[in-house]
Chain A
């Protein structure tokens, strides 16, 4: 086996220092080197979005990034959305609207939705569709997914009445 590379990054708030095979993508690092299998390995060509994670506050297809490129990055995966035992409003909303059928696309949908709400806290349905355009759902549960994002946006807005009043 050819040599390994050391990569140090932050994943879901934890400092990670790991030896990886040089050809490993960030997705491989998350799933195989760290053991976070929430992000899914699917098309591996950046089309389906099942591997969507956040780097800082931007969504990224982890299959399109080499592990060694992620040196020093701050990555959030679906496993990092909840706070302890409290679900993120997006997760609660996805449950409430029945957005998860087989569930395979859901981690990616959640991370894409998290990015969207981060920069567009009150998205229209069209903005939600656009924001999640990079995430396929073969169960075709799109309507429930979009409803969930709308519901989560309402919940998040309701949590911050002071901020709302300031607008």
Chain B
């Protein structure tokens, strides 16, 4: 059976040792939006409401996403 005992060249090996391998963080795309995750600075809390008005008024802000924008009911994963 071919393959057993062989030492094949590692797929993508050359790209990894020359720095040519492009990882996601290395991608340079035109006209991208940048996402910023806003977290709650409390260890345990109940979110009563989220006011996005001030954030949306900032220049350059195209979109503010909260749970309210998810399809209702929110799909459970896993």
Q: CB of A98 within 8 A of chain B?
A: yes
Give the most central of A38, A79, A81, A94: most B CB within 10 Å.
Answer: A38
Q: Is the CB of B13 within 8 A of A78?
A: no
> What is the predominant secondary structure among interface residues of chain A facing chain B?
loop
What class of interface size applies to chain B in its complex with A? Answer: 10 to 19
Number of A residues with CB within 8 Å of any CB on chain B:
24
Q: Is the CB of A38 within 8 A of B9?
A: no
Q: Is the CB of B19 within 8 A of A95?
A: no
Known pairs A37-B26, A95-B9; A87 contacts B17 (CB<8 A): yes
Give the most central of B19, B23, B26: most A CB within 10 Å.
Answer: B19
Contacting residues, chain A, for B19 (C-beta < 8 A): 36-39, 77-79, 107
Bound CA–CA A139/B2 (angstroms) = 28
- Chain A 89-130 interface 0/1 with B at a Cβ cutoff of 8 Å (1 = within): 001001100101001101100100000000000000000000
Bound CA–CA A104/B26 (angstroms) = 11
Known pairs A40-B23, A41-B25, A95-B9; A103 contacts B16 (CB<8 A): yes
User: Per a CB cutoff under 8 Å, which of A35, A41, A78, A98 touches B18?
Assistant: A78
Q: CB of B20 within 8 A of chain A?
A: yes
Interface residues in chain B, defined as those with a beta carbon under 8 Å from any beta carbon in chain A: 9-10, 12-23, 25-26, 28
Known: A78-B18, A79-B19, A91-B18. 5 other contacts (CB 8 A): A38-B20, A39-B19, A40-B25, A87-B14, A107-B19
Interface residues in chain A, defined as those with a beta carbon under 8 Å from any beta carbon in chain B: 31, 35-41, 77-79, 81-82, 87, 91, 94-95, 98, 100, 103-104, 106-107, 110
